[in-house]
Structure 1
Amino acid sequence: MRLFRPTLLASALLFATGLAHAADAVPKGPLPRTVVPSLVKLELKLDPKQERFSGTTRIEAKVAEATDTIWMHGRDLKIAKAEAVLADGKRIALTGQEADVSGVLKFTAAEKIPAGNATIEIAFEAPFGELQGAYRVKPDGRDYVVTQMEPLGARGTFPGFDEPSFKQPWDITLIVPEGEGAFANSAEAKTESLGDGWKKVTFDRTEALPSYLIAFAVGPWDVQPGPDIAPNQWRDTPIKLRGIAAKDQGKKMTYSLANTPAIVTALEDYFGIPYPFDKLDNVAAPDFWAGAMENAGLIVYRDSLMFPDEKSAVGQRQGFWGVSAHELAHQWFGDLVTMEWWDDLWLNEAFATWMGNKITGQLQPQFHTDRGILEGGLGAMGADSLASTRRIHEPINDFTQIQSAFDGITYQKGGAVLAMFENYVGEEQFRDGVRNYLKKHARGNATSADLIAAVAAQSKEPQAVDAAFKSYIDQPGVPFLKIDLDCSGKTPALVLQQQRYLPIGSTASANQTWGIPLAVRYADGDQIREQKGIISGKQARFELTEAQSCPAWVMPNAHGAGYYRFALTPALQQSLSDAFAKLDEREQRVYADSVTSAYSAGAVTPSQLLAALPQFAGAEVRQTATAGMNNIGWMEEYLIDDEAQRAEFLASAAEIYRPRLQQLGYTLKDGESDDDRLLRTSLIGYFAGTLKDNAVRDEMNKAGRAVLGLDAGGKLNADAVSKDLRGIALSVAVEEGGKAAFDAAEKHFRGSQDAVLRSQLLGALGGTNDAKLAERARALVFEKDLLRRNEIFPVVFGQADEPAMRPALRQWVDTHFSDLEAKLAPAGAGLVNLYAAGMCSNEEAATLESKFAERMKNIEGGPLELKQSVEGIRLCAAAKDARKGQPLQFARK
């Protein structure tokens, strides 16, 4: 059953003619359009050293018809005074009250406000938030203010119309202490001294923006000038680029600032539209719950993403490029054109995921970002296989559902679906559709239907592409094709059966179909041919029209471009396995997924999966080489009870991957690729962690002890091991070194402001297997001014990996749940996963559901997080029951 969501036009007509909301009915979804803002003048007085701030909002608005009720948003605000000022200057008093836990604010007028123009003036005070809204950070003993408005932080910072479709210009003024820097979305217009230690900073009027893209920063920030982004064919004037970082940290932004102009220019070339705003500031936030946020003209990043250099770990360096390209793509997709409502969040995030990979791959081809978008799509299939999964274009009817939309379905599945349709429609045609969409809706709002129509119009079969695209975004699940080959007629054909992919124990219905842009490669004599076409319906026949003979093998997901899984008949499966070396790197990866997903669905036994792993391990591409690794860890934990059998099993698993590790070695080689460095890190982490390999652990222990200075008087030597391996080395050293190593790691953590090193040290502290030391690690969470709030999960999640540590961790979460949730908001829903780690029985699922149902009810993203955690535990239990007693045999050499 589909939930009904009225279109914007229908909503507008409803509001205009009948006022969809009764005066006392709280609008928990979109606000009524009785009052629509056209300009917001926001003035805030902020001192980072104080716990609260004050401000005034003046909202110029159009009133559709006479009303004595104005619905807005505001959460935990203290309203000092509110009035509606009419065009003739008459003032009507407004009385405000918070009408819903989501932050819906109801203003009741002393008399009816007539239709026409009016200005709503509100004076208020507010507390600083916790990693959302306007919040304070203190990384170095100094106080800073930074913001994160998406999704609902704006309503805790100022009263307003806090939803995406309310998009209008903003006049922002910040009153701050003398000596403090102040920055906002647009360029500074003027600064005036007010006396008594205060100054007023006024900024240029912004372009039309929704409230969730408003941003500012106040404090003793370093301002690092970047290179101007030079004029080009799309733009006559340069763009001013700056880096903004905590005191004395600005120089660390040299690499990121030097490489930002190339990303902006490449995006301008793709879109055919100049950068849409008047300047570009990159803020390196010392504490930030997300990776980054695309605020127009003032992008905020977690500081570690802005601080890499040429010698950084591969992951950190590639992280800058990928995240920066993602956020900069948002300046067009999300900022220039904004979704109308949160159900279309994928228009922002899926597009930026896809576009960020595309532009990074264009500028840094050695990163192989096309593999990243494929791996993201395959990873999303895990969540997409749940009965409780979301669809990409999911109706949002309650504020708790908005946070749930920031997930792998929106980002990775959405990005993979965009890549699939780009492949089908054609790269240039797809780009032309995107350009037309952006130009048509620039400075306004748009919907899924708008984008799909623009892309489909560029294809050779617009109606089929439109319908197929919508089948992917408007229903959940992973398409699954069962495939046979029929060579009995004149033209060989694939015989296809379509349904939804389901893992063992799923309660979802398999009875679904999609419009699938099928891409096939096959061997026809000494030729390899390729063919595309959209298939639909439960059964289909796909004729291989160019084939001159019965194909020797068929790859039903050519170049890994499609978001679907497949199962071949045994004979076809064997022929494809035999042709593994002839497949391209992406096809090898989706072939590996066809085997591992068949295992998860119960069609392949544990021994059959284990027998397939050596073929994958020998593949050139690291994502294929490591495919199936996680299944070994799961088998070891849930299918083996005998310790001798466990040791033998892990030793056999190690022999699959040891040749590759020996080939790579423990140390970096001159000129080796980033992929080799990343594969080395993955393998060493796997050997040291999951496989508990003594030889690898000994090497990492020596390296970790050298970093901690345990054999050198306790002096930190952060460069004693490559930065790619430092986190693993520290974790092993603390596990093996007991209290002395733990003490050293804690001392170095307390003395460091390096976000990457801090995270690695915290991970090592949290990964200890000593119960008393684990308790000490958890205690760090509540030590005043010690942890940044984005460091809370790193210090405790390691304890969830070890069965012996889990009971104490769960008790700690249970005892401190309210305090933890407040510190982590709006990411507090993640506490469910922390508590549930390792659970794999129906009894544990029921306990989790009972314990957290009430707790999650009003937490952003909480209800769905709980539902999916419970389902995951039940699926684990079903898989364990189905596999219990089945042989775990590796292929003989």
Structure 2
Amino acid sequence: MRSIRPTLLASALLFATGLAHAADSAVPRGPLPRTVVPSLVKLELKLDPKQERFSGKTRIEAKVAQATDTIWMHGRDLKIAKAEAVVAGGKRIALTPETADVSGVLKFTAAEQIPAGDAVIEIAYDAPFGELQGAYRVKPDGSDYIVTQMEPLGARNTFPGFDEPSFKQPWDITLIVPEGDVAVANSAETKTEKLAGGWKKVSFARTEALPSYLIAFAVGPWDVPVGPDIAPNGSRTAPIKLRGIAAKGQGERMKYSLANTPAIVHALEDYFGIPYPFDKLDNVAAPDFWAGAMENAGLIVYRDSLMFIDEKSAVGQRQGYWGVSAHELAHQWFGDLVTMKWWDDLWLNEAFATWMGNKITGQLQPQFHTDRGILEGGLGAMGADSLASTRRIHEPINDFTQIQSAFDGITYQKGGAVLAMFENYVGETKFRDGVRNYLKKHSRGNATSADLIAAVAAQSNEADAIDAAFKSYIDQPGVPFLKIDVECGKGKPTLVLQQQRYLPIGSSASADQTWGIPLAVRYDDGGQVREEKGIVTGKQARFELKQAQSCPAWVMPNAHGAGYYRFALAPKWQQSLSGAFAKLDEREQRVYADSVTSAYGAGALTSSQLLAALPQFASAQVRQTAIAGMYNLRWMEEQLISDDKQRAEFLASAAEIYRPRLQQLGYELKEGESDDDRILRGNLVAFFAGGFKDPAVRAEMNKRGRTVLGLDGDGKLNADAVPRDLRGTALWVAVQEGGKPAFDAAEKHFRASQDAVLRSQLLGALGNSTDPQLAERARALVFEEGLLRRNEIVALVGEQANDPAMRPALRQWVDGHFSELEAKLAPAGARLVGLYADGMCSAADAADVESKFAERMKNIEGGPLELKQTGEAIRLCAAAKQARAGQPLTFAKK
């Protein structure tokens, strides 16, 4: 090392010292400094669901790395009465709190320096209950309950602490509650003490090491139905106690969900080779919950509609229970046992739970065909992933507003599809072994993307290639796109590949991008179908079909639909693949359909060419392929047609593509028919009634909806007069056709019901009214105190966004009531942008949205990205509309 002159060395040391001091005094809007690290948190809360506020005491045992007079923590809307640090010898040092950032960063300034070593931070405070985040109150039946939702930032609304995933330590939780209420938390209850004044103190066992976002509790007059014990399994020799937590009088409705939970836990234990990680399992059926569910360790919270299903429930609702329950239970390992270090690795939780939930549900309920679900989710994510403003799966998170943005289709569906792709490439058993090794190595701690990828890649004989390919998918945005030709006559047949990023018409993104693509190919070699795979890199590549004995008759470049990429074959080969459509498996038919609809989105096909392809899709057995392209029909009708006569002719012709399938299915459920047929019937009936406005289907649904509403009888609700799979459509058609009397009946039944599914369908019917005065009445329900659950607001007014005639009044309402609506929807207030912008398709529209919401979205969780992507989507719509203007909309002749 070269010597440095003393004066320069002194200057360098002074400069470095200044930087360190400046960094220490700067507000940490991302990860907190590690000057103070908690090792145990003792949390005591005094909670009465009938009161507006609650109080708490937090005692944090911590390690202080170096002497400091500043402690950075988190807390939002907390009124701190007293804060002290207790150091060696019992000395107490006063801490003065101040809110340092709108995100909830707290700065505690010590009266004197806190020495390095062990310290205890004690804080007494009180706070208001939150709005669907933190600890919040619900009143579904006249009684008051408390539920929690800490992820991502709700914990800081409930207690002061170190509110980020990498701070992971045990918790001692004590709840002081009214003596008549039930109190539950993450771990098993250990003691209940009666206190004066009608209170009791409930203590719980010390938890395993957990981050703050997984802490949960519930208080109120809950029913606590006991489920079957989860029997010993593998290395776990003791049973796990299973309970339900439901609003008073609703516990009996949890029989199905509790009865089927043990099978899911056993299947997950078998896959991971690790016992269920916690001391008990409670499933909470929350009467109002903004997410679908939350994977709190040992105390999973679900929307009550997911827990209150039975054998008679609509197919989609039953499948929803299995899929969401398997997802949340998978989190007990992925997320709870092993936790990400920071929010940029949220996909380690959510993508894995999405993939694993589908996998386990598919094992236990094969008739659900969950492999189709993971494929459809990946294809759906490609819409957002085609935006220039899209996120990466492994996206840097530098500001609190970005955290909520990570809970999206890129993290869940794209992430899940990428995992499925690499599992397919590496092999199911080897992939599982990599997952097991990852979990065992990082058990009860934190991990990163690199840790997981290394564990999986180590199972392959192409470790370096797998590692690089995996990272190419998570560390850059976008959808890979392969242009493919087939070269024959020069040795082995070879795929000639060009790789770039898929871009829709009008995109401002660069197509100059490549991935390590795990390519899987199936092809017809002289009547024998063969399959080959390999990792493709670079802008140009050649992929030799090593097994081929002749030039293939057709090539499917995404075998079994396993790959997260799009393709375009040279015209000759695209035509041969179309001709072999019936020989493709069900997943390949779906990705072939996507290759056609995505070509339309990129401008490579005309409107008429897409319309000509739809009858082939509609003939497919699998419903996801049968309805592929329906969105494009809706877009064409709304954006490319302005003449009423032409619109009617277009819709009538479009309906004829799908009418044979609807006639085949009929309106009545058939004994032994598949779940897929039931869901497809529901899809088609809804589209015929709404999108195609088919008079015959509307008349049938109106008749059935009127029966449910009791309009032609005694006025009583007949909820099961229509198959539950069709009830929602029947209700909204009846309200549209029946005007004020039907609206009044639907509103009356809604007010009398506590059934979350029925309430949602009745609200959907009210929101679908096409009468402006009734639509205004529907919107007014949002502000009627105590009427709507907050997670029902979008179910009501979101329907109005689907009707072009209703949108102007809805936009005016959203604009005029923005602050009130954002408070009700928090922390999901960013969705108001989409509600306002639905159907917009011009540069002027984009400018209007951006100017109206720029300031409003600035400090809303997820708001900045939501606004950016909404503006881009509107401009892309405008570009596509301009490019398609004047194109004929010609249907193929039969």
C-alpha contact (below 8 Å) 1:55/1:124 kept by paired residues? yes
What CA distance in whole angstroms lies between the structure 2 residues aligned with 1:852 and 1:490?
60
What CA distance in whole angstroms lies between the structure 2 residues aligned with 1:784 and 1:726?
28
Query: How far does residue 87 in structure 1 lie from its aligned partner after superposition?
Result: 2.4
C-alpha contact (below 8 Å) 1:16/1:34 kept by paired residues? no
Aligned match of 1:222: 223
Cα distance per residue 1:129-162 (max 9 Å; x no partner): 0000000000000000000000000000000000
Structure 2, unaligned stretches of length 5 or more? 1-15
Aligned match of 1:307: 308
Cα distance per residue 1:610-656 (max 9 Å; x no partner): 00000000000000000001100100001011111111100000000
Aligned match of 1:49: 50
Q: How do 1:429-440 residues align onto structure 2 when only pairs under 5 Å count? A: 429-440=430-441
Query: How far does residue 878 in structure 1 lie from its aligned partner after superposition?
Result: 0.3
C-alpha contact (below 8 Å) 1:688/1:732 kept by paired residues? yes
Aligned match of 1:141: 142
Query: How far does residue 750 in structure 1 lie from its aligned partner after superposition?
Result: 0.2
C-alpha contact (below 8 Å) 1:245/1:283 kept by paired residues? yes
Query: How far does residue 24 in structure 1 lie from its aligned partner after superposition?
Result: 2.8
Query: How far does residue 21 in structure 1 lie from its aligned partner after superposition?
Result: 5.9
Aligned match of 1:393: 394
Aligned match of 2:164: 163
SS of equivalent residue, structure 1 residue 124:
strand
Aligned match of 1:478: 479
Aligned match of 1:612: 613
Query: How far does residue 490 in structure 1 lie from its aligned partner after superposition?
Result: 1.1
Aligned match of 1:424: 425
> In structure 2, what residue type is equivalent to 1:865?
E
SS of equivalent residue, structure 1 residue 222:
coil
1:287 maps to 2:288: yes
Query: How far does residue 19 in structure 1 lie from its aligned partner after superposition?
Result: 5.2
Aligned match of 2:727: 726
Cα distance per residue 1:649-696 (max 9 Å; x no partner): 000000000000000000100111100000000000000010000000
Q: How do 1:518-667 residues align onto structure 2 when only pairs under 5 Å count? A: 518-667=519-668
Percentage of matched positions with identical amino acids: 84
What CA distance in whole angstroms lies between the structure 2 residues aligned with 1:359 and 1:233?
17
Aligned match of 2:746: 745
SS of equivalent residue, structure 2 residue 23:
coil
> In structure 1, what residue type is equivalent to 2:846?
A
For residues 484 and 68 of structure 1, do their structure 2 counterparts lie closer, same or farther at Cα, with a shift above 3 Å needed? same
Aligned match of 1:267: 268
What CA distance in whole angstroms lies between the structure 2 residues aligned with 1:807 and 1:526?
58
Aligned match of 1:354: 355
Q: How do 1:773-812 residues align onto structure 2 when only pairs under 5 Å count? A: 773-812=774-813
After TM superposition, the runs of 4+ consecutive aligned structure 1 residues lying more than 4 A away are 15-21
What CA distance in whole angstroms lies between the structure 1 residues aligned with 2:458 and 2:655?
52
SS of equivalent residue, structure 1 residue 275:
coil
Query: How far does residue 526 in structure 1 lie from its aligned partner after superposition?
Result: 1.7
Aligned match of 1:406: 407
Aligned match of 1:202: 203
Query: How far does residue 23 in structure 1 lie from its aligned partner after superposition?
Result: 4.0
Cα distance per residue 1:730-777 (max 9 Å; x no partner): 000000000000000000000000000000000000110000000000
C-alpha contact (below 8 Å) 1:16/1:64 kept by paired residues? no
> In structure 1, what residue type is equivalent to 2:425?
Y
Query: How far does residue 234 in structure 1 lie from its aligned partner after superposition?
Result: 2.4
Q: How do 1:750-761 residues align onto structure 2 when only pairs under 5 Å count? A: 750-761=751-762
What CA distance in whole angstroms lies between the structure 2 residues aligned with 1:102 and 1:184?
26
SS of equivalent residue, structure 1 residue 518:
strand
SS of equivalent residue, structure 1 residue 508:
coil
Cα distance per residue 1:14-70 (max 9 Å; x no partner): x99985863431000000000000000000000000000000000000000000000
> In structure 2, what residue type is equivalent to 1:708?
L
C-alpha contact (below 8 Å) 1:515/1:534 kept by paired residues? yes
What CA distance in whole angstroms lies between the structure 2 residues aligned with 1:156 and 1:16?
35
What CA distance in whole angstroms lies between the structure 1 residues aligned with 2:199 and 2:803?
53
What CA distance in whole angstroms lies between the structure 1 residues aligned with 2:251 and 2:109?
48
For residues 17 and 205 of structure 1, do their structure 2 counterparts lie closer, same or farther at Cα, with a shift above 3 Å needed? farther
Q: How do 1:20-39 residues align onto structure 2 when only pairs under 5 Å count? A: 22-39=23-40
> In structure 2, what residue type is equivalent to 1:303?
D
C-alpha contact (below 8 Å) 1:16/1:33 kept by paired residues? no
Aligned match of 2:117: 116
What CA distance in whole angstroms lies between the structure 2 residues aligned with 1:460 and 1:712?
71
> In structure 2, what residue type is equivalent to 1:608?
Q
Give the TM-score, by structure 2 length: 0.98
Cα distance per residue 1:433-458 (max 9 Å; x no partner): 00000000000000000000000000
How many residues get paired?
Answer: 879
Aligned match of 2:194: 193
Cα distance per residue 1:415-472 (max 9 Å; x no partner): 0000000000000000000000000000000000000000000011000000000000
Aligned match of 2:888: 887
Aligned match of 1:5: none
Aligned match of 2:81: 80
Aligned match of 1:243: 244
What CA distance in whole angstroms lies between the structure 2 residues aligned with 1:484 and 1:95?
69
- Aligned-CA RMSD value: 1.0
Aligned match of 1:12: none
What CA distance in whole angstroms lies between the structure 2 residues aligned with 1:767 and 1:876?
25
Aligned match of 2:688: 687
What CA distance in whole angstroms lies between the structure 1 residues aligned with 2:134 and 2:780?
27
1:511 maps to 2:508: no
C-alpha contact (below 8 Å) 1:21/1:32 kept by paired residues? no
Cα distance per residue 1:830-888 (max 9 Å; x no partner): 00000001100000101110110000000000000000000000000000000010010
What CA distance in whole angstroms lies between the structure 2 residues aligned with 1:74 and 1:873?
37
SS of equivalent residue, structure 1 residue 773:
helix
SS of equivalent residue, structure 1 residue 520:
strand
SS of equivalent residue, structure 1 residue 808:
helix
Q: How do 1:367-378 residues align onto structure 2 when only pairs under 5 Å count? A: 367-378=368-379
What CA distance in whole angstroms lies between the structure 2 residues aligned with 1:169 and 1:265?
26
> In structure 2, what residue type is equivalent to 1:386?
L
SS of equivalent residue, structure 1 residue 82:
strand
SS of equivalent residue, structure 1 residue 588:
helix
> In structure 2, what residue type is equivalent to 1:687?
F
Cα distance per residue 1:186-242 (max 9 Å; x no partner): 000100001210000000000000000000000000000000000021200000000
What CA distance in whole angstroms lies between the structure 2 residues aligned with 1:864 and 1:17?
35
C-alpha contact (below 8 Å) 1:391/1:475 kept by paired residues? yes
1:851 maps to 2:834: no
What CA distance in whole angstroms lies between the structure 2 residues aligned with 1:671 and 1:272?
36
What CA distance in whole angstroms lies between the structure 1 residues aligned with 2:136 and 2:21?
36
What CA distance in whole angstroms lies between the structure 2 residues aligned with 1:656 and 1:19?
69
Aligned match of 1:8: none
> In structure 2, what residue type is equivalent to 1:532?
K
Aligned match of 2:11: none
What CA distance in whole angstroms lies between the structure 1 residues aligned with 2:232 and 2:845?
61
What CA distance in whole angstroms lies between the structure 1 residues aligned with 2:67 and 2:120?
14
What CA distance in whole angstroms lies between the structure 2 residues aligned with 1:764 and 1:863?
32
Query: How far does residue 713 in structure 1 lie from its aligned partner after superposition?
Result: 2.1
